[in-house]
C-alpha cells in the first residue's frame, strides 16, 4: 500500500515542520531516503527547483516524491499528508489561538524549538556539503582542477547570497558555470 505509506510518511514530516523548508531536510532525508524514493543528490537538485518555483517547499517536495514513486495519486496522497497536520491544528486553534499563543507552555516550547530548527538547518548544510564535496576524497584526496573550480563556484555563490543576490540568479549562475566546466571536460558523470 504505497499510497497509505506516502500519506503517513508525509503526515509525520508535516507534523514536525517548524522553521521553514531547509529545517525539513534532515527529516525528509530520514524518512524518504530510507524508503528508497530518491537519492540525496536528487534531493539537493530538487531544492534548487523548489527555490525557483512558487509555493512552499513542503508542498513542492511532497508532490514531487509522491509523483515519482506512485504517479498522480501518489502525489495527492503525499501532499494531503503533509498538509493534514497543520490543517487539523489550525482548525482546533481557530477559536482560541490567542490563549494558545500566549500560554506560557507554548512560549516555552517555542524557546526550545527555535534552536532545534536552527540546528536542523545547520545539519542540512553539512549533508549538502558532504553530497557535493565527498567525491573528492572518496578514493584519495588530491587537488584537482574540478575541486578548485567547485570551490570557486562555492565562494562566488556564497558571496552572492550574503550580498542578497536573488536565489534564482545564484542558481542560474551556478548552472551556467557547471555547464561551462562540463563542456571543458572537467566533470565526469
Partner 1 sequence: MLPLIQHEVVDRHKYISYNELIDMISLSESTPGSLAVNIATFVGYKKHGFLGAAAATFGVIVPSFVIIAILSFFIEAFKENEIVSFAFYGIRIGVLSLIINAFLSVYKSFKKTPVNVFLIILTFICVAVFKINAIIMLVFCAAAGIIRAAITRKESLKQ
Of 94-113, which residues contact partner 1 (CB under 8 A)?
94, 97-98, 100-101, 104-113
How big is the site for partner 1, counted in residues (CB under 8 A)? 102
Q: Does residue 158 touch partner 1 according to CB under 8 A? A: yes
Q: Report the nearest approach of partner 1 to the CB of residue 139 (Å).
A: 18
- Measured from the CB atom, the residue of 4 and 161 that comes closer to partner 1 is 161
What phi and psi values does residue 165 have, to the nearest 5 degrees?
-65, 145
Q: Report the nearest approach of partner 1 to the CB of residue 106 (Å).
A: 5
Nearest to 80 by CA among 1, 23, 3, 20: 3
Q: Does residue 126 touch partner 1 according to CB under 8 A? A: yes
Site string for partner 1, 25-44 (x = CB under 8 A): xxx--x----------x--x
Contact 6, 78 (CB under 8 A): yes
Nearest to 58 by CA among 42, 69, 47: 47
Distances (CA, A) of 59 to 2, 50, 65: 19, 9, 10
Amino acid at each position: 500500500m504505497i499510497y497509505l505509506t506516502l500519506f503517513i510518511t508525509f503526515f509525520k514530516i508535516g507534523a514536525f515542520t517548524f522553521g521553514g523548508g531547509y529545517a525539513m531536510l534532515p527529516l525528509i532525508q530520514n524518512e524518504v531516503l530510507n524508503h528508497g524514493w530518491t537519492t540525496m543528490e536528487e534531493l539537493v537538485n530538487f531544492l534548487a527547483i523548489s527555490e525557483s518555483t512558487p509555493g512552499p517547499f513542503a508542498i513542492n517536495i511532497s508532490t514531487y516524491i509522491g509523483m515519482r514513486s506512485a504517479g498522480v495519486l501518489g502525489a495527492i496522497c503525499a501532499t494531503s499528508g503533509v498538509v493534514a497536520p497543520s490543517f487539523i491544528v489550525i482548525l482546533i486553534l481557530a477559536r482560541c489561538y490567542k490563549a494558545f499563543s500566549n500560554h506560557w507552555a507554548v512560549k516555552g516550547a517555542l524557546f526550545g524549538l527555535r534552536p532545534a530548527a536552527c540546528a536542523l538547518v545547520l545539519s542540512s548544510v553539512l549533508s549538502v556539503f558532504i553530497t557535493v564535496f565527498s567525491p573528492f576524497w572518496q578514493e584519495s584526496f588530491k587537488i584537482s582542477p574540478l575541486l578548485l573550480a567547485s570551490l570557486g563556484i562555492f565562494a562566488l555563490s556564497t558571496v552572492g547570497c550574503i550580498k542578497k543576490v536573488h536565489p534564482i540568479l545564484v542558481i542560474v549562475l551556478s548552472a551556467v558555470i557547471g555547464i561551462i566546466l562540463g563542456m571543458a571536460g572537467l566533470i565526469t558523470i
